[in-house]
A and B are shown apart, each in its own frame.
Chain A
Amino acid sequence: QVQLVESGGGVVQPGRSLRLSCAASGFSFSSYAMHWVRQAPGEGLEWVAVISYDGSTKDYADSVRGRFTISRDNSKNTLYLQMNSLRAEDMAVYHCARVVNSWLGYWGQGTLVTVSS
């Protein structure tokens, strides 16, 4: 079955960097676009970034553009999110998600990023 397992979250100071990973299994990872979605504590869902199946196309929410970079390694079935210049408002649970046709059909449990001095 499809499994998405995020890792790499933790406590980081404002202005510092962090890299999240998402290990995928149970499907042909290299055939699907992948997304990151985040949810700040007590807040709603926010779409963050997407990468096409082959990594050739990437797009970002305006709130993270220029600071975050999405990437993937299809040989390792792994999705990444490099987060630079972190701000307090980036504090959230970060989920990776896989599209099914036109919707986000599979979600990982998420990894918590805490931005605090």
Chain B
Amino acid sequence: QSALTQPRSVSGSPGQSVTISCTGTSSDVGGYNYVSWYQQHPGKVPKLMIFDVSKRPSGVPDRFSGSKSSNTASLTISGLQAEDEADYYCCSSAGGYTYVFGTGTKVTVL
């Protein structure tokens, strides 16, 4: 039950693209297509941005996209905007009813 590994921080200028990686094992990320991504602004409840690796809930801009290769999932934010500055967490099913979260990544818009 180790946390999934994410970079501590990434940054980009408005309009640029940034990608956040999320590395797990074959027991979580690699074993299931149930990776989700959450955006969290300070003091707020996490907001779902991506589910099932690459699907976007209604209302989430198509600037946000997800993918997975083997034991690593990725979230890409294209056309970075000021309001995208937040913490981002990946989350994977880990078997049964259990989940595991990533260590979290702070996205800074320069």
Contact = CB atoms under 8 A, between A and B. Distances in A.
Contact of B99 (A47, A108, A110): A47
A18 B91 CA distance: 27
A73 to B, nearest CB: 19
A102 B51 contact: yes
Contacts of A63: 1
B104 interface: yes
Contact of A45 (B1, B51, B89, B98): B89
B24 interface: no
Contact of B97 (A33, A37, A95, A109): A33
A117 interface: no
B104 to A, nearest CB: 4
Given A44-B102, A47-B99, 6 more contacts: A45-B38, A59-B97, A95-B45, A104-B36, A107-B46, A110-B45
Interface of A: 33, 35, 37, 44-47, 50, 52, 57, 59, 61-63, 95, 101-105, 107-110
